[in-house]
Each structure stands twice: as structure tokens, then as C-alpha cells.
Amino acid sequence: MEDEVDRLVAAWRRERPDLDVEPLEVLSRVSRLARHLDRARRLAFSEHQLEPWEFDVLTSLRRAGAPYQLSPGQLLTQTLVTSGTMTNRIDRLTKKGLVERLPDPSDRRGVLVRLTPEGRDRADEALAGLLAQERAILAQLTRPQRAELAGLLRRLTAPFDNVPG
């Protein structure tokens, strides 16, 4: 079965035989898959009236377990955004009734961000929709193939995820 990347690689091999274009065979497919995944994610989230960034914040809180709360600093670490961006996101989610700010009992000046029941329901429903979309994307692979692919991708991404700083 030929795909668009096969055609792209063949064209580059014809036009630039002096270059080793082998990385394109893997990384162009990863890039194309990321675009398809991004579309599927947006569709799953929009069905639950969520933006991707809202899903990221809500599911960070949901994964924290009961009582589904984190400090803004913990949310920064999990979502990889700046402090100002996180403050804006918390404000917007608070206005939508999906999170609430509470005083941090261990720090008089601190706050905790807690998922509201509506936020929890919305996060759970959007996650179920996302997983359905992702299962459809992976449907061409057997369970052992998915496990093998996950392991290979882990090998590629782990060095980036484990960089200090």
C-alpha cells in the first residue's frame, strides 16, 4: 500500500539523489499523523464545547484524583504554558463554571484550582469521545502492532521528555 509519503520520498530521491531522505519515511508520517490526530481531537472536544487547551487543563485536574485540584504551579508543569497564560485560562474556565479557585490551606497566599462537577463531567465525556476517535485512527493495527509502535515511539520521545529544566 502506497501513501503520500512514499510519493514525496520518491520525488526527493529523484530530485536529490545526493541526500539520504530516509528520515522523511518516518518523521513525515509522524507529522501527517499528528495533523490527523489534531483534527480528531478538535472534533472530539468541540462535541463537548471544549477547546483543546480547556481539555488539557480539565484533564490535568481530573487525573489528579479526588478532590480534583492542583495549584496553578502544578498546572503549569503539566500543561507547559506560562504563568500569565495559565492565569488567563483559569479565569476563563472559572467564568464557564468548569473550575473554581479555593484558598490553599497550606499556604495563606496560595490558591488551589478545583474541578467543578460540571467540569468533571465535561472532561470525562470529552475523554471518552477522544478515545473513540483515537481507536478509529489505530483500527488498522493489531494489538501487538499498537504495542510495538508505542514502544518505538517511546524510545524516540523519552529523551525529549526527560531533559532537565
Q: Which pLDDT score is estimated for 80?
A: 83
C-alpha cell at 130: 477522544
User: Distance between CA atoms of 63 and 4, rounded to whole angstroms?
Assistant: 37
The CA distances from residue 94 to 8, 73, 111, 146, 161, in Å, are 47, 17, 13, 38, 30
Q: Which of 58, 77, 78 is nearest to 120 (CA)?
A: 58
Asked whether the bond before 67 is cis by omega within 30 degrees of 0, the reply is yes
pTM passes above 0.75: yes
Q: Which pLDDT score is estimated for 2?
A: 92
Q: What is the tens place of the pLDDT at every residue in 56-96? A: 999 999 999 999 999 998 998 888 888 899 999 999 999 99
Q: Which pLDDT score is estimated for 108?
A: 82
Q: pLDDT averaged over consecutive 10-residue blocks of the chain (165 residues)? A: 94 97 96 93 92 94 96 88 91 97 88 96 95 94 96 92 68
Q: Which pLDDT score is estimated for 165?
A: 56
Q: Which pLDDT score is estimated for 75?
A: 92
Q: Which pLDDT score is estimated for 164?
A: 66
* Half-sphere exposure at residue 126, Cβ-oriented, CA atoms within 13 angstroms: 26
Q: Which pLDDT score is estimated for 163?
A: 66
